[in-house]
């Protein structure tokens, strides 16, 4: 196994460790949401709304909505704090363990870890954006969404003369939506903060790391937007967007080192190595492939029905005929273009 394979393996293991940590965090946050849901159902049961529509009932509804708003606001604030604290811990652990793993792959102490402080970790978490906003803002938005949806559903149910059973079902449906939104935020923010922490580690070793390369997963679940980015490479010091590109994105950035000759100037133990670093291999749905395989070249080796399922029948025909490349299917921001937009080009 050459250096590229070893480094890819180290990064893959780091990603798997992150997935396990993120799964545990999701479980904790979903438990907190479950308790909020139980409290909402409990408050609903005590509100006495299954009586004829009267001024008394309307007053009880207002009191219920106000109480629920306070409970949801407090609950989501606790979730946001718990999430931020765990993201900071995960960022520090992930970046430091990756440096150790990469050094182990090389066989020498080549990379230096980042000297984190509580302040720098907080700044990292607060400054990492998911779809244009920090995680704390998304939790606040989800809190407001649940409060407004609860009030709307209770009013609709009462207008239809629903009793406690159907009203409770409405609450449980709302909590199901909230849980799915929370899962997406935990998963996506974990990747975003992890990539930001790793970038900090790479920048700490700018004399070792030369470039970064966008790497998408080689399977049918990868969207065209991520596939178009796969293989993109840019200098470490150059401003460039990092994954995640969208909710539940699975892309990562892989560091590209300087040549062996350049590295040997820092560490003599590397002087005997070859000057050319073989691209190695990377994982795919069908097993290992060459390390220089891109998502587009991987897609070209898939059956036509798989291509059509990923791209859509019309786009697949244009792409298969050589009239379009994968990068032609997205705009400058990486968003997939519609057929109408493609035809107008």
Contact 276, 284 (CB under 8 A): no
Residue 174: pLDDT above 90?
yes
Q: Averaged over 151-164, what is the pLDDT?
A: 90
Look at 81-90, 142-151, 256-265, 282-291 and tell me which has the smallest mean pLDDT.
Answer: 282-291
Q: Which of 145-154, 177-186, 257-266 has the lowest mean pLDDT?
A: 257-266
pTM for the model: 0.79
Contacts of 233 (CB under 8 A, 6+ apart): 211, 212, 213, 214, 256
pLDDT value at position 162? Answer: 87
Question: Residue 129: helix, strand or coil by DSSP?
Answer: strand
At 275, is the pLDDT very low, low, confident or very high (cuts 50, 70, 90)? very low
Q: Encoding tokens for residue 268?
A: 């003599």
In angstroms, the Cα distances linking 24 to 33, 77, 86, 90, 190 are 14, 19, 10, 11, 12
Distance CA 93, CA 313 (A): 44
| Res. 273: pLDDT tops 60 | no
Question: What pLDDT sits at residue 288?
Answer: 54
Angle at alpha carbon of residue 135, lines to 333 and 197, rounded to 5°: 75
Query: Of 28-42, 257-271, 272-286, which has the strongest mean pLDDT?
Result: 28-42
Q: What is the pLDDT of residue 332?
A: 66
Say if residue 274's pLDDT is above 50: no
pLDDT of residue 314: 83
12, 197, 304, 307 from 320: Cα distances, Å: 31, 39, 9, 9
* SS3 state at 61: helix
Q: Rounded to an integer, what distance in angstroms lies between the CA atom of residue 22 and that of residue 5?
A: 25
pLDDT at 276 over 50: no
287 backbone φψ class: left, alpha, beta (φ>0; ψ -120 to 50): left
On the question of pLDDT at 170 being above 90, the answer is yes
Alpha helices in the chain (DSSP H): 3-47, 55-106, 118-127, 135-159, 164-204, 224-229, 260-264, 295-300, 304-311, 313-320, 339-344
Distance CA 263, CA 258 (A): 6
Q: Which of 6-10, 212-216, 253-257 has the lowest mean pLDDT?
A: 6-10
- Please report the pLDDT score of residue 270 as a whole number: 58
The 10s digit of each residue's pLDDT in 16-70 is 788 888 999 999 999 999 999 999 999 999 887 765 556 767 788 899 999 999 9
What's residue 1's pLDDT?
Answer: 47
Tell me: pLDDT of 261 over 70. Answer: no
């Amino acid at each position: 196994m050459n250096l590229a394979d070893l480094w890819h393996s180290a990064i893959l293991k780091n990603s798997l460790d992150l997935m396990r940590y993120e799964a545990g965090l999701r479980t904790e946050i979903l438990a907190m949401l479950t308790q909020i849901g139980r409290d909402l159902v409990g408050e609903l049961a005590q509100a006495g709304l299954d009586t004829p529509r009267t001024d008394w009932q309307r007053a009880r509804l207002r009191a219920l909505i106000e109480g629920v708003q306070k409970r949801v606001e407090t609950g989501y604030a606790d979730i946001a704090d718990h999430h931020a604290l765990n993201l900071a811990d995960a960022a520090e652990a992930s970046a430091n363990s990756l440096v150790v793993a990469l050094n182990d792959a090389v066989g020498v102490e080549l990379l230096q870890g980042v000297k984190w402080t509580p302040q720098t970790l907080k700044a990292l978490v607060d400054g990492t954006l998911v779809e244009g906003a920090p995680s704390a803002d998304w939790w606040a938005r989800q809190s407001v969404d649940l409060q407004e949806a609860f009030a709307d559903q209770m009013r609709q149910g009462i207008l239809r003369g629903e009793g406690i059973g159907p009203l409770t079902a409405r609450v449980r449906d709302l909590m199901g939506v909230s849980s799915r939104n929370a899962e997406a935020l935990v998963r996506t923010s974990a990747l975003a903060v992890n990539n930001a922490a790793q970038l900090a580690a790479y920048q700490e070793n700018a004399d070792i790391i030369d470039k970064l390369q966008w790497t998408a997963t080689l399977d049918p679940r990868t969207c065209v937007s991520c596939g178009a980015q796969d293989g993109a490479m840019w200098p470490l010091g150059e401003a460039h967007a990092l994954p995640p590109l969208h909710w539940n994105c699975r892309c990562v950035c892989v560091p590209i080192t300087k040549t062996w000759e350049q590295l040997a100037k820092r560490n003599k133990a590397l002087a005997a190595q070859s000057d050319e670093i073989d691209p190695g291999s990377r994982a795919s749905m069908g097993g290992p492939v060459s390390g220089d395989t891109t998502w587009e070249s991987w897609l070209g080796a898939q059956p036509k029905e798989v291509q059509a399922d990923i791209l859509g029948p019309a786009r697949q025909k244009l792409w298969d005929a050589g009239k379009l490349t994968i990068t032609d299917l997205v705009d400058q921001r990486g968003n997939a273009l519609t057929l109408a937009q493609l035809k107008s080009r």
